[in-house]
């Protein structure tokens, strides 16, 4: 401990990012500076995570420090909402762990006017900055998922309620068959609608449409043919793309961020033991 204390330095955040890595291949940091009533306020975040990434418990750590002067009640609230909109929307392999932490520490050194519920403009500016850091770090975790070659946004729209939309999106995002199809660059929409069917999400199959980015491959539950499939397969050759499933059954929507499932993922977890 004395050695650790002696090594503390103002620019040591990169060392922290490196030190907490396990199967991560790159350190993960994100920062922002915002102005609160004419005073510069700084935020700096670091995270680790690569495998066993599935909320609400995942093998991930996130630490954010800020010199903002902000009330505990306000900070506690926006941390919780921010986690729900970022770290709780990612998955790499659908597996969980007993350990996860998101910790935000504010020391007030900026001496800005207090950020609290009574100062909504300042609270809004700080909230946006913190939530952007959360989202950035969460997507860095997905991008650095074990063996990952693709980052995929699974968007379910037109659902009756948020819970059903989330069930549908998470089941698709965690389906081994769907994720291996992503790896194989196979626009296999049957696997997607099959996962949706076992998710508990209410839908009418003859209303569903499925698109890969802007390429619609399924309309009213029916595939649109070879040309549409070829265009969709081209989309899957990209590093990042979005799968949109429109249920046409309501007005709610959600997004979940996932990866493909690769041979390297299997090799890493066949050889790696903590």
Give the Cα-Cα-Cα angle 19, 21, 26 (nearest 5 degrees): 110
> Residue 28 has which token pair?
């993960």
CB contact at 8 A, 146 and 264: yes
Q: Is 231 annotated as a binding residue?
A: no
CB atoms within 10 A of CB 162: 12
The answer to whether 59 is a known catalytic residue is yes
Whole-angstrom Cα distance, residue 249 to residue 167?
15
Please indicate if the annotation marks 59 as binding a ligand: yes
DSSP-based three-state secondary structure for 248: coil
- On whether the CB atoms of residues 73 and 117 are closer than 8 A, the answer is yes
Backbone torsions φ then ψ of 233, nearest 5 degrees? -65, -30
Three-state DSSP at 269 gives helix
Q: Is 274 within any annotated ligand binding site? A: yes
Considering the candidates 59, 244, 259, 262, report the single residue annotated as catalytic.
Answer: 59
At 228 the three-state DSSP class reads helix
Is 22 within any annotated ligand binding site? yes
Phi/psi for 81 (5° steps) reads -70, -35
User: Quick one: tokens of 60?
Assistant: 């991930």
From 228, 230, 221, 229, select the one nearest 196 (Cα to Cα): 221
Q: 3-state class of 28 per DSSP?
A: strand
Residue 105 per-residue DSSP state: E
Q: How far, in Å, CA of 246 to CA of 237, rounded? A: 23
Binding-site annotation, residues for substrate: 22, 48, 59, 146, 269, 274
Give the active site residues: 59
């Amino acid at each position: 401990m004395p050695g650790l204390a002696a090594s503390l330095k103002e620019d040591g955040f990169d060392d922290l990012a490196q030190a907490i890595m396990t199967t991560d291949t790159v350190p993960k940091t994100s920062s922002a500076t915002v102005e609160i009533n004419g005073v510069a306020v700084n935020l700096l975040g670091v995270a680790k995570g690569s495998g066993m990434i599935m909320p609400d418990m995942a093998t991930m750590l996130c630490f954010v420090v800020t010199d903002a002067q902000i009330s505990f009640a306000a900070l506690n609230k926006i941390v919780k909402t921010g986690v729900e909109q970022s770290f709780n929307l990612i998955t790499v392999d659908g597996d969980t762990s007993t350990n996860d932490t998101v910790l935000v520490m504010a020391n007030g050194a900026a001496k800005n006017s207090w950020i609290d519920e009574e100062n909504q403009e300042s609270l809004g500016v700080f909230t946006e900055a913190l939530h952007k850091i959360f989202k950035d770090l969460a997507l860095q975790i997905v991008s650095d998922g074990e063996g990952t070659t693709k980052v995929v946004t699974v968007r379910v729209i037109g659902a009756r309620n948020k819970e059903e939309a989330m069930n549908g999106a998470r089941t698709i995002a965690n389906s081994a068959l769907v994720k291996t199809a992503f790896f194989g660059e196979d626009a296999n929409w049957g696997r997607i609608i099959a996962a949706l069917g076992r998710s508990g999400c209410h839908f009418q199959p003859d209303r569903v449409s499925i698109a890969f980015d802007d390429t619609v491959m399924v309309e009213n539950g029916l595939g649109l043919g070879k040309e549409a499939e070829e265009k969709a397969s081209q989309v899957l050759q990209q590093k990042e793309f979005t799968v949109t499933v429109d249920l046409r059954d309501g007005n709610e929507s959600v997004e979940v961020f996932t990866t493909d499932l690769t041979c390297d993922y299997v090799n890493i977890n066949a050889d790696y033991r903590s």
